[in-house]
Structure 1
Amino acid sequence: MRKSFYQFLMTQRNPNSHDEVAEFAANAFFDQSFPKLEEDYDKISKYLEENGGYLPTMTIFDEAFQRYQEQASSL
């Protein structure tokens, strides 16, 4: 079974990293409303546009989602 985007994103958390995706993951961890079971780019993107004040630019989400897709295609 494919991981949700949130499950993937949690693998990117690293408190010692200044990588933008790692910081996004750390902030998403504390977002109680994050769509944790979602896999769809458009639905997650819409959520972040409306509720992701902790995300300085959507480019970071795009990069994270690209990593998510690459990992899913390598399985």
Structure 2
Amino acid sequence: MRSRGFYEWLMTQRKPENADEVQEFANAAFFDSEFPKQSQNFDEISKYLEENAPYLMSMEVFDEAWRRFLASEEEL
């Protein structure tokens, strides 16, 4: 069982300058008041982003963020 949600992890990736794509995603998601903050479900978050996140240029960015999230959870 994961100890924290994806959104909580994503917020740790925010970076104001020289951000990579995942960090830019985190920066933009911070301002998305409808983001499913409590969800830990890949499909639910993916569907939300596909339908409601014009700030996400490619779903590949989400996929990479999810991979990093899972890797960080394995370290805990």
**TM-score, normalised with respect to structure 2:** 0.94
How far apart, CA to CA, are the structure 2 residues paired with 1:29 and 1:10?
7
Structure 2 residue 15 is matched with structure 1 residue 11: no
Structure 2 gap ranges (5+): none
Letter of the 1:40 partner, please give it.
Answer: N
Match in the other structure for 2:45: 44
Gaps of 5+ in 1: none
Taking only aligned residues, the RMSD between alpha carbons, in angstroms, comes to 1.0
Identity of aligned pairs, percent?
Answer: 52
Normalising by structure 1, report the TM-score.
Answer: 0.95
Kindly tell me the number of residue pairs found equivalent between the two proteins: 75
Segments ≥4 residues shifted beyond 2 Å: none
